[in-house]
Structures are given as structure tokens and as C-alpha cells.
Amino acid sequence: MAIERAREWLAKFGLDGRILEFDTSSATVELAAQAVGVAPELIAKSLSFNTPDGPIVIVAAGDARVSNQAYRAQFGCRARMIPVDDVEELIGHAVGGVCPFGVNEGVRVYLDESLRRFETVYPAAGTASSCVRLSLPELELTASKDWVAVTTY
């Protein structure tokens, strides 16, 4: 189960107790914001892309949109999201629960600069009804230290 993968990953850092599980869906930015009771921009959405070097996940603020020009400048290719039916197989989590924790081996995770506006963000935790409350240093510790600037907001 994907939430267990995320929980095991976060446990390595002593943060598995921060996972929030809901009786309702948190599969979209809007639904997650309602479930948590925060502004949508505080939801750290995980976007899955195919690149010539393999699948990647970019974690961005809930109000951010990928800039094709910035993405191409960063990765040297067009932004091509992974088809919905392939996300779970390639990333390790299904759409709605994609997160940067416990992803498949070889999946590179990047944090987008849009997140730097906030002290605390809420990425998903492996299912369409979960998230985890993390500070930016905790997100860097658990997900990636690689920052990119590929969005506008």
C-alpha cells in the first residue's frame, strides 16, 4: 500500500507521526486544502513528468503552474506529464496520492522555488486521502535538496 511506503520513508526521519488521514478525498489541491483547513497554495502538489533520463517528480506550491519555457530551460526537453494510467507503475504512487516519499528507485525528485514562500507545506502521503505537515527544511530532508524554478504563481 502506497501510504505504507510513504510512512516507512518518513519514519527514517522520525516524521511518520505527522501523516494526516482523512475520511474524504484530498486528491486535488482544492480538496486537500479543504481537508486540512489551509489555503490552497500551502498544499505541496507532486507533479510527475517523463524525461529522456526517466521519470521525475516536481513538488510545487498548490497555486503554481508549470512554465513550459522554464521547464525546457531546466531539463532540456518539453514538459510531458506521465499519463494517468502509468503514474503508479513509474512513480510508485497513484494519481491523487503522488508524493516525494518512497518513490520507485531511479525517480528523481525536485522541489520548486514556489514553495520557498512558506514555512510549512502539506504534500500528499501516498493516498488520495492523506497528507503530511512539513516545514521546508523537513521537506528538503525527506524529499530532495535539489531546487528548480519551473513554475509561475
Q: What is the pLDDT of residue 45?
A: 98
Instruction: Give the ranges where the chain is alpha helix by DSSP (H).
Output: 2-11, 29-36, 68-75, 84-91, 136-142
pTM exceeds 0.85 for this model: yes
Superfamily of domain 2-152: YbaK/aminoacyl-tRNA synthetase-associated domain (3.90.960.10)
One digit per residue, pLDDT tens: the chain, 153 residues? 689 999 999 999 999 999 999 999 999 999 999 999 999 999 999 999 999 999 999 999 999 999 999 999 999 999 999 999 999 999 999 999 999 999 999 999 999 999 999 999 999 999 999 999 999 999 999 998 999 999 999
Q: What is the pLDDT of residue 145?
A: 92
Q: Which sequence spans correspond to the domains of the chain?
A: 2-152
Q: What is the pLDDT of residue 1?
A: 64
Looking at the chain, which runs of residues are DSSP E strands?
19-21, 43-51, 54-61, 65-66, 80-81, 108-112, 120-123, 130-132, 134-135, 147-148, 151-152
Q: How many CA atoms lie within 13 A of 99 on its CB side?
A: 31
